[in-house]
Structure 1
């Protein structure tokens, strides 16, 4: 749509000059009950005592005919664009805040939508919202709205809506007015309690199932107002108008000089928190790689120096390379195509050129078939825990849930963080992983867990790290391994940077990058299109672009786009038995996309990281 410039006023005598609604007309377009002081006081009391934080809802908010007309205009006149990032998948309209800047020819096509926006930002209605939420005066000049339609597979992950001067968030729901939206359709608004400020629980504690002409709203409370929109599970459209009320601007009632600046400075957005070290103490699993013994590192250095002298990779030799016994050990797990002299030379050259490798059918047929059968059986015969309280040893739940959520094994003592004291007591408790001890203490019927631990023990072996040294021409200095399981309709990781070990920065030849490996162990098909999510994506960080003004940011969850452009470096779908190796520096972001309910099984993998050095 063609827009006038934001500061351009309607010409005298133009139709827009007469569009302002009188107060009695505004009142008539709302449900009369909202003007009743008793209703307002009761709603205020309910919001003040609501859990997990102050929020409320009103059914049949506005005139039914008006909202039906709005819905029809949206369906016929508004264009939706599918948008997908690490934190959401949604069909979204353009910004509605500047409706008053549209040409009259455009505005005449959206008269009811314009009228709705005018009454939602009218002073008398803002005063009602201000009163029941207890947030103080709200701006009528700084409007902030968009239309979203959630179709099957759409979702919005956990966040707190803290951006700029937002004071109150609201969602006005417009699904099919003639049919009830049912809970099993998905698309509900879910609210999360906090363990401590800025650390939400893994599981929601309240849920609103949206209906036509219902509004949900809450005061934006930095570090507490965490919520998400659960995935829509059916072929239906969950239409809604999302908006925010802001701190009063200069010239408005309730304006306080410096209030907005102080609010913005004191309240860090969710994204900024995740990109800083503010929450590092409260993140589990820890991004900590264990430093390797000195004698191992010196041995890997010697291998690389010998290769450099000889000018080629020697796979088998009696002294510094892999012995026949070591080759036999590797063949117990690795496909022989990746163990030949020719195979290793080819992979070494490819890694030198591209800083990454993708090795399909990495495990040999015997190990692959055995492990696949065990994981398939686990999926079919055992219930997967979906709430943190049900997660049992040796599995843990990754926290906090606005950064990532998945099940994992790390070889350490079991922690589940069900209570505040659990996470707080763990902060100063350092523990090295001991997968051997973990395996010995597991009952024999946990066959999958035992098999996965044995695979990690193979990856931790000196012989495997020798092999890794040959493939990459890099000397490992540290290591970390995780077994991960991403549950359908539940789990994900948001885009984050890698952290380098500060203790190793002084090592000669230290590489300002992390060697990262992901062995896909997902036993089902149907992941290639990406519709079921679960893909692992590496992308260049584009933060060098100018930052948007807070007023221009229209979505609380615009974190990292993953849909197009040159920024995408690797997009690896969930798979069986493909090892992806990536040399990743701090300019490369990585995430695992939320796994949809449509996925046939969980997404499984083994994630590994090594700090590395070059040997000149």
Structure 2
């Protein structure tokens, strides 16, 4: 809180705050009490797309709302908060106005008055009628303030928490200036392909203005929305709130209704962690199981007595000279020497992760940088899923992640998001060799896809038996499966949310199976300016502290902010954070207690974030050791 302004009126007691019905009505725009307006609103909301929502301009008495804005500017302190799902400025002890004591309220009389009329019987009845929501609680109030400045954003979610029935946002940007579309900060609404599967592209957008309210029925699995990034140095202030199911003693209370609602409707986070949605995720979580003879080869490698090998170099690396020559096509020479490999191996064994700078050799790295920069500078990047063309696809669903990817699988049956759902039973292993052949089928196609061809060739290299042998040397772990995808995260658009890794159900019975995956990220971002993390794009691994925390978000309780479920602060939970870089490989042994995400890429980033994501199910040569891990 800031210091009290000298002329702030003081509230003496609760009786002074009681507002009569006529006073409540007088503080709203009188049109909302007009039966004809109410009927029109009801009809518009019932027929709105992509779900039931609406907006009212000039909702509240102008003088009152200007006073509210002034009080917020003078009295409220906002703190920058950043998680995998948002970056916003939130009020601290004012996040929930119902928690304020009388001293706080005396400094915010107009804000408290606004809260009173917003949760008054008259306005709740109006909202319930036009939305068809059913009765709304006046006991349970849930209102907070958010201050969006340049770079702030809120990613896709459906607002399902506890007993909410209606979400609303009352906008308070500068009152005498129009907020323009290119400023960003718009409320975007997403249609759904099916329940819990939103499209990647929004179908409606509201550009906020002072004294305008936007609202929608909370429809589990359908009311998906986001707040696009604010792109300018302007202040987008808003008051957000929710109306809840009636509580005991209130009109419309139904015993057991709230409990049934909460048990049936899970939060966005719980949806993402539900195995029932894994079939609708692209790229999917399954990895290609390696042939038995390959696994046996790596197994023998890790158990062979070094005295049986022929040369000093092979003794050190358990790789033949021909294999080293093959690896040297891509890997920097320093990581193929006896000393280089031994150093990496010891670091991985000690820490269960590795950070390898300048992993690719100079000729390959220079070529890739040239080609990727050419794409960034000369080719228009599609920002909507409907415009993405082969060999790229859009990662879905958009409330879990959004980025472009190449997975080596056919594109024809997955050219639209509807196609993906319709072809769930269509299974094919990644085949980068086949994909490369389609990209070089003629001179025109080859010219248009030079960067993609080079990246596909790199993916082919990573899929080689020799490279997996190198990884086995590096980690002393035997790969059982693999998955390699090429990714591009576009500024102002792309991200992944924090989720657990997926373990193979098929391989769990393999002797020595480790309940973790070996995960690698080769970052190939050709520009600088990522180090501070301000533009996002960093990859973060963090401890999952919260079976208890995640359960709590689904219970009926007061929460500081309803969309918070992960925090990427610099506390003990952060295990590893890497900015977008050029030519660096990170290898992590990751079990299901470790969450990972790539932070939303800010509009001001100089380029996309490019990388290759590598995953292997693995086994240890010592079953007891694997149990320990």
Separation of aligned partners in 1, 2:382 and 2:183: 21
Residue of structure 2 aligned with 1:120, choices 118, 121, 138: 118
Query: C-alpha deviations, 1:24-43, integer Å up to 9, x for none?
Result: 11111111111111111101
Aligned to 1:150: 148
CA contact 2:95–2:561 (8 Å) conserved in 1: no
CA contact 1:127–1:137 (8 Å) conserved in 2: yes
CA contact 2:45–2:130 (8 Å) conserved in 1: yes
CA contact 2:486–2:612 (8 Å) conserved in 1: yes
Separation of aligned partners in 2, 1:426 and 1:247: 39
Aligned to 1:324: 321
CA contact 1:173–1:214 (8 Å) conserved in 2: yes
Aligned to 2:270: 272
Task: Give runs of aligned pairs for residues 17-96 of structure 1, distance below 5 A.
Answer: 17-94=15-92, 96=94
Pairing 1:211–2:209 present: yes
Aligned to 2:391: 394
Pairing 1:405–2:391 present: no
Separation of aligned partners in 2, 1:328 and 1:355: 28
Alpha-carbon distance, 1:197 to partner: 0.9
Match of 1:278, SS state, is helix
Aligned to 2:6: none
- Describe the shift of the 1:99–1:488 C-alpha distance in structure 2 as closer, same or farther (beyond 3 A): closer
Aligned to 2:589: 583
Match of 1:61, SS state, is coil
Q: Relative to structure 2, which stretch is displaced further, 424-433 or 57-66?
A: 424-433
Match of 1:402, SS state, is coil
Match of 1:551, SS state, is coil
Separation of aligned partners in 2, 1:129 and 1:315: 80
- Describe the shift of the 1:315–1:265 C-alpha distance in structure 2 as closer, same or farther (beyond 3 A): farther
Alpha-carbon distance, 1:50 to partner: 0.7
Pairing 1:458–2:461 present: yes
Q: Relative to structure 2, which stretch is displaced further, 89-98 or 509-518?
A: 89-98
Aligned to 1:509: 512
CA contact 1:192–1:201 (8 Å) conserved in 2: yes
CA contact 1:476–1:611 (8 Å) conserved in 2: yes
Pairing 1:494–2:497 present: yes
Aligned to 2:368: 371
Match of 1:342, SS state, is helix
Aligned to 1:136: 134
Alpha-carbon distance, 1:573 to partner: 0.6
Query: C-alpha deviations, 1:564-589, integer Å up to 9, x for none?
Result: 21000010111110000000001000
Task: Give runs of aligned pairs for residues 423-572 of structure 1, distance below 5 A.
Answer: 423-442=420-439, 443-445=445-447, 446-545=449-548, 547-548=551-552, 549-572=555-578
Separation of aligned partners in 2, 1:60 and 1:399: 37
Separation of aligned partners in 2, 1:141 and 1:116: 16
Aligned to 2:256: 258
Return the TM-score normalized by structure 2: 0.93
Separation of aligned partners in 1, 2:310 and 2:574: 32
Task: Give runs of aligned pairs for residues 217-366 of structure 1, distance below 5 A.
Answer: 217-306=215-304, 316-317=313-314, 321-366=318-363
Alpha-carbon distance, 1:318 to partner: 8.4
Separation of aligned partners in 2, 1:415 and 1:377: 27
Separation of aligned partners in 2, 1:241 and 1:288: 42
Alpha-carbon distance, 1:424 to partner: 2.8
- Describe the shift of the 1:289–1:419 C-alpha distance in structure 2 as closer, same or farther (beyond 3 A): closer
Match of 2:275, SS state, is coil
Alpha-carbon distance, 1:59 to partner: 0.4
Alpha-carbon distance, 1:103 to partner: 3.4
Output the aligned Cα RMSD: 2.0
Alpha-carbon distance, 1:503 to partner: 1.1
CA contact 1:95–1:145 (8 Å) conserved in 2: no
Match of 1:279, SS state, is helix
Match of 2:469, SS state, is helix
CA contact 2:520–2:587 (8 Å) conserved in 1: yes
Query: C-alpha deviations, 1:14-70, integer Å up to 9, x for none?
Result: 622331111111111111111111111101111111110010000000011110110
Separation of aligned partners in 1, 2:98 and 2:133: 27
- Describe the shift of the 1:574–1:312 C-alpha distance in structure 2 as closer, same or farther (beyond 3 A): farther
Separation of aligned partners in 2, 1:438 and 1:233: 38
Query: C-alpha deviations, 1:267-323, integer Å up to 9, x for none?
Result: 11111010111211111101111111111111111111126x669998832899211
Residue of structure 2 aligned with 1:171, choices 165, 169, 172: 169
Match of 1:495, SS state, is coil
Separation of aligned partners in 1, 2:569 and 2:520: 23
Pairing 1:385–2:394 present: no
Alpha-carbon distance, 1:106 to partner: 2.1
CA contact 2:407–2:484 (8 Å) conserved in 1: yes
CA contact 1:200–1:226 (8 Å) conserved in 2: yes
Query: C-alpha deviations, 1:83-109, integer Å up to 9, x for none?
Result: 111000000113658645533332111
Alpha-carbon distance, 1:429 to partner: 0.9
> Structure 2: 5+ residue runs without aligned partners?
3-10, 440-444, 623-629
CA contact 1:372–1:523 (8 Å) conserved in 2: yes
CA contact 1:315–1:340 (8 Å) conserved in 2: no
Return the TM-score normalized by structure 1: 0.95
Separation of aligned partners in 2, 1:207 and 1:601: 26
Alpha-carbon distance, 1:233 to partner: 0.3
Q: Relative to structure 2, which stretch is displaced further, 231-240 or 260-269?
A: 260-269
Match of 2:165, SS state, is strand
> Structure 1: 5+ residue runs without aligned partners?
3-12
Pairing 1:573–2:594 present: no
